[in-house]
Amino acid sequence: MDIFLTAFDDIPDPRADNARHDLGELLVIALVAVLCGATSCAGMAMFGRAKECLFRDFLKLKHAIPSHDTFSTVFRMIDPKALDAAFGQVLAEVAALLREGDVIAIDGKALRGARGKGESARTRMMVSAYAARLRLTLASRAADNGAELDAALEVLGLLALKGKVVTADALHCNRRTVAAINARGGDWCLALRANQDSLLSDARACFGAVKETHPVARQEEAGHGRQETRTAMVVSAKGLAEHHEFPWLKGFGRIEASREADGRTTSETRFFALSWLPTPAVFMARVRAHWAIENALHWQLDVSFREDAARNRKDNGPANIAVLRRRALDVARSDTSKASLSMKLQRAGWDDAFLRSILNGLAAA
């Protein structure tokens, strides 16, 4: 656990000098508790008391396990950015395994249980940068009251993007975002919709002018009672970057998708703005990789960590505990044994030896 304690030393402690519990030790207990299923500060304190003998093997615990009020107070006060950065230090060696062409997906997720009475579901959000192939959260930022775009720009500013492809939904298809990605040497594949109506109109016109021999990529999948077909095409956007003041716009991508299930067929056409001209097959792969942030991160946070049901609401509490959930997921995924994620989380709570193997394995990575 030294790797965590060392990283947590860099987090400024906002408490008074006479605070009884060591901040790093408190955060270690909280992380392990969340990893093993705790969903609240009360759960952290209860888990800590139940596993006090385990924690005393690597923590000093001069004043025993903190109370739930202490956990709550600390998470309301500490800076979520500093907490996320500390985890970034711990996972830096894993993040260094990113390869040329890897997808970094950007997306926000509402903390639905964190909203107060009368507030919308998007009042509190977390925006994450997710390494699709590694299934690792690279950075996350809180976005309150609709500030998702600003939070995404802050996240992008933390990352080394050279040789990587940033993917995002249509909210992020704008000049500020592409300028931020360009400045850090990355490429981008951004969903294009009516919020960029003029650009979308020109994209449709470009595809309308292609010849029948234009290269395409086709993909078919069958399973779960449905048949899906996707066709991808890429065209040049020559001259349109200057016309739309959209720096480094090189091309447009289009995916035509159809799904047949229960005797019904539905279809959809999606357009994308591109900073380079990949082959249709590469373009389709990058678009498909983006969905890892939904399936491997957001869905797991709700199913395995019950994020939508979390009721933390005050001050920095929702953002800090959201950071813990994302990083606990990263820690669980560092284990390579064969079992579903949900089973690993349950086993970590039941089996101290297995829990130690997960934590020690991360330190040895």
* Span 111-136, pLDDT tens digits: 987 766 666 656 789 999 999 999 99
Tell me the percentage of the chain whose pLDDT exceeds 70: 97
- Considering the domain architecture, whether residues 175 and 220 belong to the same structural domain is answered as yes
Distance between the two ends of the chain, CA-based, in angstroms?
13
- Considering the domain architecture, whether residues 339 and 239 belong to the same structural domain is answered as no
| Residue 315 domain flag | no
The predicted pLDDT at position 122 comes to 60
Residue 52 exposure: Cα atoms within 13 Å on the Cβ side? 11
- Considering the domain architecture, whether residues 54 and 202 belong to the same structural domain is answered as no
The predicted pLDDT at position 363 comes to 53
Q: Which of 274, 299, 324 is the last residue of a domain?
A: 299
- Considering the domain architecture, whether residues 61 and 102 belong to the same structural domain is answered as no
Sheet with 217-223, side-by-side order of all strands:
136-144, 124-131, 103-110, 165-168, 187-192, 264-274, 251-261, 226-236, 217-223
Task: Give me the domain span that covers residue 9.
Answer: 2-78+334-364
**pTM, full prediction:** 0.93
Computed over every residue of the chain, the mean pLDDT equals: 92
| Residue 85 domain flag | no
- Considering the domain architecture, whether residues 41 and 104 belong to the same structural domain is answered as no
Question: Which region holds residue 172: left if phi is over 0, alpha if psi is between -120 and 50, else beta?
Answer: alpha
- Considering the domain architecture, whether residues 110 and 223 belong to the same structural domain is answered as yes
| Residue 314 domain flag | no
Structural domains in the chain (count)? 2
- Considering the domain architecture, whether residues 55 and 105 belong to the same structural domain is answered as no
- Considering the domain architecture, whether residues 258 and 119 belong to the same structural domain is answered as yes
Residue 203 exposure: Cα atoms within 13 Å on the Cβ side? 27
pLDDT confidence band for 362 (50 / 70 / 90) = low
Instruction: Report whether pLDDT(14) > 80.
Output: yes
pLDDT confidence band for 11 (50 / 70 / 90) = very high
Average pLDDT over residues 322-348: 92
- Considering the domain architecture, whether residues 97 and 125 belong to the same structural domain is answered as yes
| Residue 312 domain flag | no
* Pair 95, 133: CB distance under 8 Å: no
- Considering the domain architecture, whether residues 68 and 192 belong to the same structural domain is answered as no
Tell me the percentage of the chain whose pLDDT exceeds 90: 80
